[in-house]
Chain A
């Protein structure tokens, strides 16, 4: 097995909510609780979970946009805080959900795509222009479109431009945060194919965050499932979808509507609402919604354990 490209060790992130005239801490949110995972060069790791589960916090920590309360992130074997800023930023890039708000409406597409080249002082002006044209054609746009503004593009084209911008500095790792959620199905498929082609051509590694299980199941080699700040299951994608081990993963899969009227599911419905991350239930955070919960589940939180080679689950019953 290759050395991991990126490694998260026991990452936790707590946010202190302050209130009152004295600004004292009134509550602590554990947005992320002892999460460990690795990303191998060239793979796609899917990250799924519902709102507030900590997906985006994890992404922010991996990108070093925020520091963990405890734990460590290693990139190519070296702690992220020890990397020179500029060099680190060139190696990891991000694609956001909403290309409408991640592109400056008053900046031409060509300039948006080439901005990173300017900041990092790469090449001459002519070389940069050439590189922008190359990037645009890489994502299926034309060089002539460099002179247009974001509003002249469709949603799918804008997301292509955002992808071109993320690739400008030849990153190793691209964090894709809900990259196709804002797109219509017919366009979504175009962008998913594009992401895969780019991965093959450029040897990219993806961390692919989405709430859409079908999309994650389609693009990922491995899938990590999060619930209220913790990793509850981590497995190869095919195995996870065929035989989910954690009751929460099962619930998620049963709840996701499949485009097949013959497969209308019965049973396995989650009970009640997501608990507030401000007051997570004691013990296993999923136990109030778990159909299989035992008395012991209320007592202690289960650790993530390897139950089969490559398959990890955090559940007392497995």
Chain B
């Protein structure tokens, strides 16, 4: 198999709280392969966004700190690069799309200028060339009348348009790795479908690249991902190709998530996971999921399970699969 585009190895990120540090990302290892869309799913506070920010070294420090691990991008450790070199990679080889485009775009500059700025910085084009490329990118992401729209300010655009501007900006330097953090969460479903189509088109056009798609929405995962990693309380608890994950989830948490989804047309009672997600400042002993787990047995409350590998493509952090 080809070398992964990004190989995250034993990454730990800590946050300093009132009562001492807590581990938001706990020894996460994850490979993102060329050409794939890997979905990172989990509920709020599970550490999925912090993981992506850690890879880009954008975790605010303090209170956050990457305390261990590597993130090998094409074999080079991003976490050990000089700050200058990292800055050059961000926005060119690595790009990120955030959830809320209104807060990530600068309200006082025209959107075309904001895209052109990124292009000028990273590709050394002059003003005119950069503007032309910005207009071409807006066209590519399906914005009608791009020459005119490039002159708009962010507040003059709809939410779907703004998210497309963000995507145009992220793609303007032709990144190898796109990190998309809840890129469609703030959007209406019809616009969401268009954006997901757009992202998958981009993935197909760009052969050697890859996308890390962070989401809490299992519908989005099912539609867009090739492989899935599920996070719970800072750890990866299951990793699997997308079809197998939905057909035969291995971890009781993944099973619980799927069982708690309402399905239209069925009015049967839902099967929620009891209890709530533990705080990373106060984690249970043993397996972090055991207090909510319907299948817990003898070792679960005493010993934290490692990742087991039932087959070459899947891994699961649960004693049931020892």
Pairwise interchain contact B43-A185, C-beta atoms closer than 8 A:
yes
Select the stretch in B55-63, B104-112, B173-181, B185-193 that faces chain A.
B185-193
Pairwise interchain contact B190-A213, C-beta atoms closer than 8 A:
no
The answer to whether the Cβ of A216 comes within 8 Å of any Cβ in the partner chain is yes
Pairwise interchain contact A273-B161, C-beta atoms closer than 8 A:
yes
Interface residue from A50, A252, A259 paired with B219 (Cβ < 8 Å) = A259
The answer to whether the Cβ of A41 comes within 8 Å of any Cβ in the partner chain is no
The answer to whether the Cβ of B90 comes within 8 Å of any Cβ in the partner chain is no
Rounded to whole angstroms, the CA-CA distance of A41 and B162 in the bound complex is 43
A186-B273, A252-B190, A257-B192 are known contacts. Are A218 and B266 too (CB-CB below 8 A)? Answer: yes
The answer to whether the Cβ of B216 comes within 8 Å of any Cβ in the partner chain is yes
Pairwise interchain contact B222-A259, C-beta atoms closer than 8 A:
yes
Measured CB to CB, the closest approach of chain A to B234, in angstroms, equals 16
Measured CB to CB, the closest approach of chain B to A293, in angstroms, equals 16
The answer to whether the Cβ of A256 comes within 8 Å of any Cβ in the partner chain is yes
Pairwise interchain contact B261-A156, C-beta atoms closer than 8 A:
no
A241-B265, A273-B160 are known contacts. Are A264 and B223 too (CB-CB below 8 A)? Answer: yes
Chain A at the B interface: SS class: helix
Pairwise interchain contact A257-B273, C-beta atoms closer than 8 A:
no
The answer to whether the Cβ of A260 comes within 8 Å of any Cβ in the partner chain is yes
What 4 pairs between A and B have smallest CB-CB spacing?
Answer: A217-B264, A257-B219, A218-B262, A189-B272
26 A-B pairs (CB sep. < 8 Å):
A157-B276, A185-B260, A185-B261, A186-B257, A186-B272, A186-B277, A188-B260, A189-B271, A193-B272, A213-B189, A214-B219, A214-B263, A216-B264, A218-B264, A238-B265, A255-B189, A255-B190, A256-B189, A257-B193, A259-B219, A261-B243, A262-B246, A270-B194, A273-B191, A274-B160, A289-B190
Q: Which residues of B contact A (CB under 8 A)?
A: 43-44, 144, 158-161, 188-194, 196-197, 216-223, 225, 242-243, 246, 256-258, 260-267, 269-274, 276-277
Q: Which residues of A contact B (CB under 8 A)?
A: 50-51, 154-157, 184-190, 192-193, 196, 211, 213-219, 237-238, 241-242, 251-252, 254-264, 269-270, 272-274, 289
